[in-house]
């Protein structure tokens, strides 16, 4: 089992751009499937009822407003998400043709922009990360050369390093994070919490503070993994991967795991100075 996992990891790291495309496409796939199944938010009185959210994202011209109103029609919204599922499936598949993969990436980017006003409330950081990954991949493949594809890999890796570092640095001024109480406060909420885990944190406050401080240290220190040619980058990525799996389990943020883990081979390539395999 371990040897098989090692081979999978080696293959993923040898093709960081393709790995980023595939795992990030899974984020788009899950997102669109959720929207296809869950329509209540877009129905009258729902959180994203177009009669109310329309004024939140007005078009600058009559033409752009007409396009937004057209996309906001439920049958159109459903059709766009169905087509996004197909585009994501193409990227997840073994298809290697550069032009086909570029087109699929570009479609996911364009369609995400088109439906964003329709889902104004409810999007999260995983949508932003997957958008950046697909945009970089589309541009890298549009160049059609190894240099442009490697530039896309470098951008994805650098963006991930910045995202983790900024997330940690933004937490530092908060008293709850420095005191170690933030995790317990999050776990007691209905939206992102978990009753079983919250009870454990209350029972073992020292462990709760230790976990909180560990997360803060990992995020703030993440950019340091680029030093010494990525000597410790594998351990750092493993720790952050475990962090996202825990978030998926206890906070319900499963799409974050797909979105961020998709960028890890690119982070590793950035740290070690390796390039996309031919």
What pLDDT, on the 0 to 100 scale, is given for residue 210? Answer: 95
Question: Does residue 92 fall inside a structural domain?
Answer: yes
Instruction: Please report which confidence band the pLDDT of residue 2 belongs to, taking 50, 70 and 90 as the band edges.
Output: low
Say if 84 falls within a structural domain.
yes
Residue 167 lies in a domain: yes
**Separation in Å, CA 58 to CA 51, 52, 67, 99:** 12, 11, 11, 34
In the chain, how many domains are there?
Answer: 1
- In a domain, residue 232? The reply is yes
Under the banding of pLDDT at 50, 70 and 90, the label for residue 13 is confident
**194 phi and psi angles, rounded to 5 deg:** -145, 120
Reported confidence tier of residue 12, pLDDT bands at 50, 70, 90? confident
Read off the pLDDT band of 191 (50, 70, 90). Answer: confident
DSSP string, the chain: -HHHHHHHHHHHHHSHHHHHHHHHHHHHHHHHHHHHH--GGGSTTSTT-HHHHGGGS--SSHHHHHHHHHHTSHHHHHHHHHHHHHHHHHHHSS---HHHHHHHHHHHHHHHHHHGGGGTTT--HHHHHHHHHHHHHHHHHHH-SHHHHHHHHHHHHHHHHHHHHHHHHHHTT-HHHHHT-HHHHHHTSTTT--HHHHHHHHH-HHHHHHHHHHHHHHHHTGGGGGGGGGTTHHHHHHHHHHHHHHHHHHT--HHHHHHHHTTHHHHHHHHHT-----
Q: Is residue 278 part of a domain?
A: no
Identify the band that residue 274 occupies on the pLDDT scale cut at 50, 70 and 90.
Answer: confident
Give CA–CA dist 256/250, Å, rounded.
Answer: 13
Instruction: Identify whether 158 is part of a domain.
Output: yes
Please say if the pLDDT value at position 5 is more than 80. Answer: no
What was the pLDDT predicted at 244?
A: 94
pLDDT of residue 122: 80
For the whole prediction, is pTM greater than 0.95? no
210 part of a folded domain: yes
Tens of pLDDT, residue by residue over 61-108, are: 999 999 999 999 999 999 999 999 999 999 999 999 999 999 999 999
Domain range for 229:
1-272
């Amino acid at each position: 089992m371990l040897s098989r996992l090692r081979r999978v990891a080696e293959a993923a790291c040898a093709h960081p751009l393709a790995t980023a495309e595939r795992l990030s496409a899974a984020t788009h796939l899950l997102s669109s499937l959720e929207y296809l199944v869950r329509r209540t938010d877009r129905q009258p009185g729902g959180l994203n009822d177009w009669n109310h959210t329309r004024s939140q994202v007005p078009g600058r011209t009559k033409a752009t407003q007409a396009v937004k109103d057209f996309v906001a029609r439920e049958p159109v919204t459903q059709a766009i998400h169905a087509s996004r599922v197909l585009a994501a499936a193409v990227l997840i598949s073994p298809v290697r043709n550069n032009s086909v993969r570029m087109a699929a990436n570009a479609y996911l980017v364009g369609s995400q922009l088109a439906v964003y006003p329709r889902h104004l409330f409810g999007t999260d950081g995983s949508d932003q990360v997957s958008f950046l990954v697909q945009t970089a991949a589309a541009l890298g493949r549009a160049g059609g050369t190894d240099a442009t594809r490697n530039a896309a890999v470098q951008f994805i890796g650098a963006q991930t390093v910045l995202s983790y570092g900024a997330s940690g640095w933004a937490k530092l001024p908060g008293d709850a994070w420095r005191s170690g109480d933030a995790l317990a406060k999050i776990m007691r909420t209905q939206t992102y919490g978990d009753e079983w885990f919250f009870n454990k944190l209350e029972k073992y406050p020292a462990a709760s503070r230790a976990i909180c401080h560990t997360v803060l240290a990992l995020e703030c220190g993440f950019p340091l993994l680029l030093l010494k040619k990525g000597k410790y980058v594998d351990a750092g990525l493993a720790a952050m991967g475990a962090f996202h799996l825990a978030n998926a389990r206890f906070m319900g943020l499963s799409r974050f795991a797909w979105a961020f883990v998709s960028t890890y081979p690119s982070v590793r390539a950035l740290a070690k100075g390796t390039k996309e395999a031919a």
